[in-house]
Amino acid sequence: MKKLIAGVLCVCMLSALVIGCEKTEESTTATAATTADAGDDTTESEEGGSTETGIINLWSFTDEVPNMVDKYIELNPEFGERYEIVSTVISTTDNAYEPALDAALAGGGADAPDLYCAEAAFVIKYCSGDASSYAATYESLGIDIDAAIEEAGIAQYSIEVGSNADGEVVGLGYQATGGAFIYRRSIATDTFGTDEPDSIASEVGPGWDKFFEAAATLKDAGYAIVSGDGDIWHAIENSSEDGWIVDGALVIDPLREEFLDYSLMLKENGYSNDTQDWTEAWYGDMAGTADTQVFGFFGPAWLINYVIADHCGGTAAGEGTYGDWAVCNSPIGFFWGGTWLIPAAGTDVPEGVAEILTWITLDCSETGLQYMWANGVDAAAKDSVASATVMAMSDGTLDFLAGQNMFDVFVPANEFANGSNLTQYDGTINGYWRDQVRQYSAGEKTRDEAIAGFKQMVADNLDVVVE
């Protein structure tokens, strides 16, 4: 009897402690809530007293998205009370992310992902390719997708990429990675007499013929137009009519085939420094340290803020090439990179997932993630975002670009990007293609041999029909 009473008292004591702890937590978060933005209200009214709770399993390959979710909880504490976020971050080095994600998706169960990220390199597989059966459409989560897209002005290519085979949206991104031509102001003035984006845009394009004319002009003035053939590849790849695979067979779009010739032209005529992207020499050209200075790079906003800015050799005007850059329209529209967020089919927390997705990819208000990204809130570098609406109401001026507003260029650039010619094998096939092109431009193979070698590699390694 005594033991029973003692036992019951213990249990009461323990539960009191536990509840007490929760209460103190609640009070602290409550005070935080009152000081936070009033953005809470909109989400609460949308939910209208939702009682869904649970664990949201988030899979990502960098800590970008988990940090975003943490930020959301910071701004909306009651979301954090209803849901517990379990993030699994596996980086894409050594190709470790995809097999793990695939196994987790296939395994199912309570630990299966509820929300997962896919990078441009492999997003097609998860949206419309082999893994698309694991994805849920945004519509099915209760998001009025068409209206939201309309309001936010999401770039067309992003929607195309994120749509499944039935044309419904299963994934959207937060960045817009439409590409432009990023050039050095000083070299522009020296060669063309002006550094105004519009003038330069008409010097280097539209179209590759114009581009190579400009290359010749620059060569005469002692400059290289780009750093290496990789720089023009992304533009070429994305601008072709067909992707690599049409109806299960390999197709070499004529525009992509021209890359062989362009690559050779760049090398033979000395229009480039023959570097390979993501190597020392390529970074060196951003700081202008090579003997021959490079005029420009093709890339989206992230190239400016995360790559060129980091390697320009300085952090303020006057140091290195900082402040000597500008952006203009690319001769050919394209996009490069990006992360798409995909909800999982059969998730047990659809409302929570929908809330996060909306905030990250569709919310075009001033409390949405995209606004924060576009304006560099919280000391993050400014980036162009998926919503044109947000960019229109944001300030994209950068000291790095000597005060130019990058959104002026990137909003239209996003519209020119093509999202319909991607296949899920692109990563691999591009690797083979560029390797053979490099052999050709280095003089190791003839043009036909390069194409034949490419076809052989695709036929031998992939389940694709090759004539």
Partner 1 sequence: MASDLRTKQRASIGLKICIYVVSILLAVLSIFPFWVMFCNCTRSTNEIQEHAVSFLPSVYLMDNFKVYEGKDFNPFVGFVNSMIISVFSTGLAVYFSSLTAYALTAYEWKLRKPFFSFIMAVMMIPGQVTLIGFYQMVYKLGFTNNLLMLILPSIAAPMMVFFMRQYLQGALSMEIVQSARIDGAGEFRIFNQIVLPIMKPAIATQAIFTFVSSWNRLFEPLVLLTSKDKYTMPVMVSLLKGDIYKTEYGAVYLGLSMTVLPLIIIYLSLSRYIVSGVALGGVKG
Partner 2 sequence: MAIKSNGGRVVRNRKLVNYSKYGYIFSIPFVVAFLIFSLYPVIYTTVIGFTDLKGLGVTTFKFQEDPFTNFKTIISNATFKIALKNTVIIWIGNFIPQIGIALLLTAWYTDNRTKIKGKGVFKVLFYLPNIITSATIAILFSTLFGYPMGPMNDVLMTLGFIKEPFYFMNNKKIAQGLVMFIQFWMWYGYTMVTLISGVIGIDPAIFEAAEIDGASRTQTFFFITIPCIRTIMLFTLVTSMIGGLNMFDIPKLLVNASGPDNSTLTTSVFIYNQAFSGSYMYARAAAASMMMFVVIVILSCVIFYILRDKDEEQLAKLRKADRKAERKAMAGGM
Phi and psi at residue 343, to the nearest 5°: -85, 150
Q: Taking CB under 8 A as the rule, does residue 135 contact partner 2? A: no
CA distances from residue 108 to 71, 190, 345, 461 in whole angstroms, order as listed: 28, 61, 10, 29
Which residue of 163, 238, 394, 436 would you call a contact of partner 2, by CB under 8 A? 436
Which residue of 22, 46, 130, 150 would you call a contact of partner 2, by CB under 8 A? 130
Q: How far apart are CA 421 and CA 427, in angstroms?
A: 13
Q: How far apart are CA 374 and CA 395, in angstroms?
A: 7
Q: Which stretch binds partner 2 (CB under 8 A): 143-151, 170-178, 395-403, 424-432?
A: 424-432
Which residue of 306, 316, 319, 346 would you call a contact of partner 1, by CB under 8 A? 306
With vertex at residue 47, the alpha carbon angle to CA 46 and CA 53, rounded to the nearest 5 degrees, is: 155
Classify residue 227 by its DSSP letter: S
Phi and psi at residue 398, to the nearest 5°: -130, 135
Q: Taking CB under 8 A as the rule, does residue 109 contact partner 1? A: yes
Which residue of 68, 148, 328, 429 would you call a contact of partner 2, by CB under 8 A? 429
Nearer to partner 2, 407 or 425 (CB): 425
With vertex at residue 177, the alpha carbon angle to CA 123 and CA 262, rounded to the nearest 5 degrees, is: 95
Partner whose binding site includes residue 290, from partner 2, partner 1, none (CB under 5 to 8 Å by kind): partner 2
Which residue of 85, 118, 119, 436 would you call a contact of partner 1, by CB under 8 A? 119
Q: How far apart are CA 429 and CA 413, in angstroms?
A: 26
Partner whose binding site includes residue 43, from partner 1, partner 2, none (CB under 5 to 8 Å by kind): none
Q: How far apart are CA 118 and CA 131, in angstroms?
A: 11
Nearer to partner 1, 119 or 324 (CB): 119
Name which of residues 69 to 108 contact partner 2 (CB under 8 A): 93-95, 98-99, 102, 105-106
Q: How far apart are CA 334 and CA 394, in angstroms?
A: 23
Classify residue 381 by its DSSP letter: P
Q: How far is the CB of 70 from partner 1 (least distance, A)?
A: 10
Q: How many CA atoms lie within 13 A of 409 on its CB side?
A: 31
Nearer to partner 2, 67 or 269 (CB): 269
- 3-state SS class at 403: coil
Name which of residues 11 to 70 contact partner 1 (CB under 8 A): 61-64
Count interface residues toward partner 2 (CB under 8 A): 44
Per CB under 8 A, residues contacting partner 2 are 93-95, 98-99, 102, 105-106, 125, 130-131, 133-134, 273-276, 279-281, 284, 290, 424-425, 427-429, 431-432, 435-436, 438-439, 442, 444-445, 453, 456-457, 460-464
